[in-house]
Amino acid sequence: MREVLRRLVAGEITEDEALAEIRGIQLDELAGRARLDLGRYLRRGVPEVVLATGKSPREAARLATSLARRQGQGLMSRMTEAHRSALAEAAGAMRIFDYHASARVLRDGFAPEPVEGKVGILTAGTSDVPIADEARMVIEACGLEARLEADLGVAGLHRFVGPLAAVLEWGADVIVVAAGMDGVLPGLVAGLTDVPVIGLPVSTGYGRGGAGEAALNTMLQSCPTGLVVVNIDNGVGAGAAAVLIASRAAQRRRRGRITASAATRVAPPRSEVVQNGAMSRRKAAASRSVKASARTPINANVTMSSRGKPRRRRP
């Protein structure tokens, strides 16, 4: 988009040509079967993610690599081994970053623009890590930092305090908490911290509610207020929500620094303020002395006695 605008300002292309290119950036149709939303990142701050489920390995790989060639990176979630093999074949020389059952393919030389936001990710068990990693993929694709701490479930609560304190000290703007089974951990985190918490129910467990329903219901019925909950196994949704929250927090910090810097440039040095204040006080004291003298009548023929009474001077 910036390149198109630069060429337009430089006079290299006409307005109609620029409009046609911008429309091409926003949408790309592949063989009448898929319409890639290439403008989603510019519009929403979160790129499109190719869901591999329901697509053939070759088709999913073609979509992800097309995104990478057009906008620098392509994301794919819920891959099988066949999808991963097809992606490696279609990517060629492009780089692939794996996130368990998800992956991110990057065009050579591309890196997302860094954002100062930080997202902490906690999981109740190691079985929850693949879904949590799906959220981490989205977060890192948007240029934010992510820190994942795993296996902190309430079955051994002593494991939980240290990693949570470390994530808070690290400066997380928002925390994603993935949990299956009874799904208690997100509510516990929300009750102990003052940062936004996103609950991510995971379909790990067994018996009634073992497909994630029990974890979802627990998070929705959590006592601590302010806990936000996404759908079962929706790592992409949790990551996207975390990106929007952390990006806005980073934007406010950046504006605060700009305002503080501008105020520092405008304000006079402290030594000058002190000097001007002392001068103002001396002027005020002198002014009061003059006014007091003006109010006191002066009689050259009158002097004060030793007892303070006026006495006329003898001729």
Which of these ranges, 8-17, 71-80, 297-306, has the smallest mean pLDDT? 297-306
pLDDT at 309 over 50: yes
For residues 247 and 210, membership in a common domain is answered with: yes
Determine contact, residues 63/50, Cβ cutoff 8 Å.
Answer: yes
Within-domain flag for 293: no
- Residue partners of 210: CB distance under 8 A and separation at least 6: 203, 204
Determine contact, residues 227/186, Cβ cutoff 8 Å.
Answer: yes
The stretch 163-170 carries a mean pLDDT of: 96
Predicted confidence at residue 277, as pLDDT, reads 61
Within-domain flag for 146: yes
Within-domain flag for 19: yes
- pTM of the entire structure? 0.73
pLDDT at 27 over 50: no
Predicted confidence at residue 157, as pLDDT, reads 84
10 Å CB burial of residue 37 (0-12, 13-18, 19+) is middle
For residues 64 and 188, membership in a common domain is answered with: no
Strongest mean pLDDT among 208-222, 230-244, 260-274: 230-244
For residues 123 and 102, membership in a common domain is answered with: no
The stretch 155-166 carries a mean pLDDT of: 90
pLDDT tens, 68-100? Answer: 988 889 999 999 999 999 999 999 999 999 999
Domain ranges, residue 152: 118-260
* Number of domains comprising the chain: 2
